[in-house]
Structure 1
């Protein structure tokens, strides 16, 4: 494939994720009141039930299932399942809020080179996994000279420092 191999499709950012729901109304309530998303206008030309929400620079598109009873029911929280992850300011505050809201969660801790990342996993009303983490603690370290397109200010500073050491 010819062209820019670093960004062959000239992508700019993540736009949205879509989630098929048993009840769009229940899912709106969850994403609005638990995760802080805001409902936004959805094109009127759609001929099926759904909703669009937006926050944190991304959209969540909720799609009403045509056969809600056939959607798999997930009860076990498995951190290795498909999920979307959000960074937070305080893991303790998130854990307290989840407890207050009686939302079941699983907590994990990952360690890499003395740096610790805490993760909380829980389900939305349809069993889609949500992760809340302090992942910005963990540097984004490119493999074999690759450069990520976006990361936290801490990671950019660390990579610039590493890059300067390489070319000295």
Structure 2
């Protein structure tokens, strides 16, 4: 219904020859500095499988897949170029996820966080539980590309998790400069 309302509000010139509106994401492509380090991260931390890549490509790269998610990586054309053009996100931008990133839904954060800890890595952002009980955390690959991991809680477990991360002092605000609100004050003692 909302999409129909939006289409009706657009000038006819814009709606006349619109391409098909149904899409699905095929892949995310990232420029990386080290294919081996990237492979280790996406395969051994995030659980992706390396898949076939077209053999007629003349540039270095790799393709990874986990479920319906594909990540394609290509090696930078000039060594050091990537680090010289890094976006330089601030701590608060990373902590709240207000940065370039792609997101994947997972069944549990723990396997990913455990694999990161084995490598001396920690999450760079989150946790936060959104209004629809989706918890968000952010991690970074070896080149600093940010990946948001999402976990869907039930209303009861999501409400309990909000209180837990608030009480632990690890909950993050919705954006830099905002305060973390006590979930008991905002949402009450039990889920709605």
TM-score tier by shorter-chain length is 0.5 to 0.7
Q: Which runs of 5 or more residues in structure 2 are unaligned?
A: 1-13, 156-192
Secondary structure of 1:125's counterpart equals: coil
Per residue, is there more helix in 1 or in 2? 2
Report the 3-state secondary structure (helix = DSSP H, G, I; strand = E; otherwise coil) of the residue aligned with 2:133. strand
Post-superposition offset of 1:99: 3.0
Q: TM-score, normalised by structure 1?
A: 0.67
Does structure 2 retain, via aligned residues, the 8 Å contact 1:21–1:68?
no
Q: Secondary structure at the match of 2:80?
A: helix
Q: How does 1:1-168 map to 2 (within 5 A)?
A: 1-2=14-15, 8-72=19-83, 73=86, 78=94, 79-105=97-123, 106-112=125-131, 115-135=132-152
Quote the offset at 1:23 in angstroms.
0.9
Moved more, 48-57 or 70-79: 70-79
TM-score of the pair, normalised by structure 2 = 0.59
Structure 1 portions without partners, runs of 5+: 139-168
More strand by share: 1
- How far off is 1:93 after superposition? 4.9
CA RMSD of aligned residues (A): 2.7
- Structure 1 Cα separation of the partners of residues 128 and 110 of structure 2: 13
Give aligned pairs, total. Answer: 134
Cα distance in 2, alignment partners of residues 93 and 59 from structure 1? 19
